[in-house]
Amino acid sequence: MELSCRTILYFIPLLLLFLSSSTETDEADPSSSSSIISRFQQYLRINTAQPSPQYAESADFILSQAKSIALEAQTLDFVEGKPLILLKWPGSDPSLPTILLNSHTDVVAAEHDKWSHHPFGAHLDQHGNIYARGSQDMKCVGTQYLEAIRKLKASGFQPLRSVYLSFVPDEEIGGHDGAEKFVDSDVFKSLNVGILLDEGLASTSENYRAFYAERGPWWLVIKATGQPGHGSRLYDNTAMENLLKSIESVRRFRASQLDLVKAGLKAEGEVVSVNMVFLKAGSPTPTGFVMNVQPSEAQAGFDIRVPPTADPESLERRISEEWAPASRNMTFEFKQKASVRDTYGKPMLTGTDNSNPWWTLLEEAVRKANGKLGKPEIFPAATDARYYRELGLPAIGFSPMANTPILLHDHNEFLNQDEYLKGIDVYVSIIKAYASHVEHTRKEASRDEL
């Protein structure tokens, strides 16, 4: 059919009006991709960097999102100025153990001049990458939980088990005023948590990474003492000489652990890592250090990360006998020494086989969302999950970011908007599976077998 020029000109204004109204509708629709990304950017633009996080603004944002999807909410102030937000989606059977989705609201500081875009600008570039501190660690996960529940509610899904969301402060500085106080509270005990999901890491491959354990931080300071004196004298067992012997012993151990990783015999999270983080000695002057005096004391600090599969007693013997022996006038102390065993004396490991239905459900849910899980891993650093595993609770670290460079705590941290949106669908599948899970008793299982 042929159209005259006059007819075409008549329809152009109507077409433009339609496109305009369509765009406005899309922007007003809370389920549209643009609205979802916009909410993520809003959260990222709140500067919650340590040491002065804007927790009040962050709490206001989370509570507003909870209200928009009709979640129950409460603010817990274990420490003044550090609110912990707890949200609840009630299940139809309150007697069942619940699901807890944890995320932390604070982020590490950023060197603004080292970033190509402002670290709290949430800039979206032409490739769809969203640049912001917290885009990977871990504001993405917190808002993905909320968006997944928004989708599930819109579909009419009703959870069997209650689902809780915790937005906690201070994870980046140890979690002592956040998750640690939360797990010790009567509020937490009343939740009857059956499974915890917490943060993971980005994956550079197409497979998502999932973590069933993590290494515990041991922050060690070794101190050496010796006879002070003139810089020309050859004293035996000086403070610096003794400390250098220890540093060399630590270096050899570190190299042996790194060799296991480089040879492919162990993953990074399965070995004990040791890194020297400071060296302190000498007598300072306004222009440097005194050069003709041997110091009477010298110190070195080490960040040690211990997997739950290691023998902590053996490692501590190594420290006292080889790295800081009293025979060389040496002492040591731990600035922090996290346990790698739970309150029952067992290694803090969450099962990754059929004995743990939560792991099986996670694998199936990710597969249903067209994703793939890689080999389960031990998280190389520390997260809030350790406080829950210490109670003997199953906890899985998982952040759905595939085909993404690992940029947590790095310059130019970013997450692609397509990966973010896909991660929401993955959480839709996981939350639906977890919240619908019915545990079979031994009697019911026997009847099913018959």
- Catalytic annotation, residues: 106, 171
* Cα distance from N-terminal residue to C-terminal residue, the chain: 69
Ramachandran angles phi, psi of 420, nearest 5°: -60, -45
Q: Is 72 annotated as a binding residue?
A: no
- Cis peptide before 240, with omega less than 30 degrees from 0? no
Q: Is 104 annotated as a binding residue?
A: yes
Q: Is 199 annotated as a binding residue?
A: yes
The three-state secondary structure class of 97 is coil
Q: Is 172 annotated as a binding residue?
A: yes
Pairing of strands 193-198, 273-281: unpaired
Residue 20's identity, in one-letter code, is: S
- Dist. CA 42–CA 229, nearest whole Å: 61
Q: Is 333 annotated as a binding residue?
A: no
- Dist. CA 338–CA 152, nearest whole Å: 38
Pairing of strands 84-89, 163-168: antiparallel
Contacts of 11 (CB under 8 A, 6+ apart): none
Sign of the Cα torsion 341, 303, 185, 362 reads negative
Contacts 24+ apart (CB under 8 A), 50-56: 50/106, 50/107, 50/108, 50/109, 50/170, 50/172, 50/173, 51/109, 51/173, 53/105, 53/106, 53/107, 53/169, 55/81, 55/82, 55/83, 55/105, 55/106, 55/169, 56/83
Ramachandran angles phi, psi of 343, nearest 5°: -65, -15
Annotated binding site for Zn(2+): 104, 137, 172, 199, 409
